Amino acid sequence: MPSDVPAPASWRIALPHTAAAVPMARALIRTALADIEVPADSDTAELLTAELVANAVEHTPGDGSIELVVELLPTGCQVEVHDRDPAPPGDLSRPAPGSEPDPWQEHGRGLLLIRTLSSSCGHRTTERGKAVWFTLPSPARPVI
């Protein structure tokens, strides 16, 4: 691998199935991205990670931890949140007809943010539930 391309690295961290998991996940993703040469957009990564974790806490049964999996790649990063509920999170590929968020409600924008701000996103079943994920590319390097 060329010396200017960072080696892939990954982390798997258990988080509590409580609202406290959201700021913990934000801090973990910020720390993970700060240590690489070609980071993905850490603000966007924090926001989308917080959305995935908050959704897992709010919409899945509270028996067991949530796992945050962060994979740093030469081309950016992939973040997954694992929970114990196998039910799909909603349509991450496109909004359902008539499903625009109500501007007067505090909820309902998480999947829209994930679809809009990530380069790709989705979900998959796992042995113990599901994983919901997104990827972010590294910002383009300026040509010198």
Phi and psi at residue 95, in whole multiples of 5°?
-70, 150
Instruction: Give pLDDT, residue 1.
Output: 43
Structure tokens at 106: 């505090």
- Please state which of the four CATH numbers 3.40.50.450, 3.10.20.30, 2.30.110.10, 3.30.565.10 is assigned to the domain occupying 9-137: 3.30.565.10
Q: In this structure, is the dihedral angle defined by the CA atoms of residues 19, 25, 27 and 28, taken in order, positive or negative? A: positive
Q: What is the DSSP letter of 37?
A: S
Residue 42 and residue 31: Cα distance in Å, rounded?
A: 9
Residue 104 and residue 50: Cα distance in Å, rounded?
A: 21
Residue 10 and residue 77: Cα distance in Å, rounded?
A: 9
Phi and psi at residue 42, in whole multiples of 5°?
-70, -30
**Tally of helices (H runs) and strands (E runs) in the chain:** 3, 5
pLDDT tens series, the chain, 144 aa = 444 555 558 889 999 999 999 999 999 998 888 866 555 688 999 999 999 999 999 988 877 889 999 998 878 889 999 999 998 887 666 555 555 655 555 555 678 889 889 999 999 999 999 999 999 987 765 555
Instruction: Give pLDDT, residue 57.
Output: 94
DSSP SS3 for 84: coil
Segments making up each domain of the chain, as ranges: 9-137
